[in-house]
Amino acid sequence: MKNTTRRAVIAAAAIAALLGGAATANALDDRDSSEKSAENPDLVAHDFQAVNGSIKWQLTGKLKLNFPTYHTEGIAFAGDRVFLSAVQVTEPTTKYPSPQGRYDRTPGKGIGHVFVMDRQGNLQKDVVLGEGDMYHPAGMDFDGKNIWVPVAEYRPNSSAIIYSIDATTLEVHKQFEVADHIGGIIRDAQTGHLIGNNWGSRRFYEWDLAGHQIAAWDNPSFFGDYQDCQHLSDRKMICGGTTNLPQTPAAGGTKATYELGGIGLTDLRSHDIVHEVPFQQWSTAGHVATRNPFKIAANGNTLTLWVAPDNGDEGNGTEILTYQATVNPTY
């Protein structure tokens, strides 16, 4: 079969139509492109490996959210619904002069939200999650039935609850607790296991649905801290994130940080980073676009990215941004 013919067949099986621009100024496409692309093991993973420094990403849509969104964390698409996690901090954490046991800061106080919206960004429900000091929802994923989201203490080396939310009924189920801060989660489509990353994504964990730890490994990459991930079949995971780097003395030194964005593809069998690239597009408030919520899809030779980097109280408020790029992978 010719390469072009094979690509056309794969693209048609993965997504019938990506939006015709993936988003408009007023709405997201009514097809769940992230879910559709995850059904094909090769399309996103293979096409993303053709991304390099010369690829041009074009902003094709902005959807402004007109309700309080606080500090956004993760995004997931499920049919006609969009899920956005966020933390509302009511008392900020404070660093201790020296570590207190395993903690380097106070727990602070807050409220964890998972906002449920339609494709026009209208709020349908605010699902409040968390217990006690665990009020920080994080990166999340959709497995075809449930939204998976961790809610952790807002400090490293702490604890978290893993929740599932039925994407249709919005029923919440507390799955299990973990003795670490979990800042993102996916469900591996092949094994059915959950994969989570801790503070700064320095360590990954794999659990069964009862919370039994199957594996744990250190992140082999220091390029970026993953914030929100997405499962792909064939035991792959793709994540977006950012790292704050110090500036030069003339630009303010270590007190003036620079946001470096990036996207990484991980093989969940070998735990290796398969491909990793920087992503330097900027939001209205001046944040790198992959700062927190992140999802990606592929259609033909077009990659589409959805991000929501800005908090509700900065810039133009939280906007779901859509970027597209044309790639030329070989088959």
Q: Choose among 159, 135, 209, 150: nearest CA to 183.
A: 150
> What's the average model confidence in pLDDT over 178-183?
98
Q: What's the pLDDT at 219?
A: 94
Which pLDDT band, with edges at 50, 70 and 90, does 42 fall under?
low
Kindly report the average pLDDT of the chain as a whole number.
89
User: Cα separation of 112 and 177, whole Å?
Assistant: 16
Within-domain flag for 286: yes
Which pLDDT band, with edges at 50, 70 and 90, does 106 fall under?
very high
Within-domain flag for 114: yes
> What's the average model confidence in pLDDT over 47-72?
95
Q: Given a cut of 70, is residue 83 above it in pLDDT?
A: yes
> What's the average model confidence in pLDDT over 84-106?
97
Q: What's the pLDDT at 30?
A: 39
Structural domain boundaries enclosing 182: 3-326
Per-residue pLDDT reduced to its tens digit, 279-288: 999 999 999 9
Q: Given a cut of 60, is residue 44 above it in pLDDT?
A: yes
Q: Choose among 129, 43, 21: nearest CA to 83.
A: 129
Q: Given a cut of 80, is residue 123 above it in pLDDT?
A: yes
Within-domain flag for 43: yes
Within-domain flag for 331: no
Within-domain flag for 95: yes
Residues 92, 94, 98: CA angle, nearest 5 degrees = 165
Q: What's the pLDDT at 328?
A: 87
Within-domain flag for 244: yes
Secondary structure of the chain as H, E, C letters = CCHHHHHHHHHHHHCCCCCCCCECCCCECCCCHHHHHHCCCCHHHHHHCCCCCCCCCEEEEEEECCCCCCEEEEEEEECCEEEEEEEEEEECCCEEEEEECCEEECCCEEEEEEEEECCCCCEEEEEEECECCECEECECEECCCEEEEEEECCCCCCCEEEEEEECCCCCEEEEEEECCCEEEEEECCCCCCEEEEEHHHCEEEEECCCCCEEEEEECCCCCCEEEEEEEECCCEEEEEEEEEEECCHHHCHHHCEEEEEEEEEEECCCCCEEEEEECCCECCCCCECCCCCEEEEEECCEEEEEECCCCCCCECECEEEEEEEECCCCC
Kindly report the CATH number assigned to the domain that includes residue 49.
Answer: 2.115.10
Q: What's the pLDDT at 2?
A: 39
Which pLDDT band, with edges at 50, 70 and 90, does 54 fall under?
confident
Within-domain flag for 109: yes
Higher pLDDT, residue 3 or 260: 260
Number of structural domains the chain divides into: 1
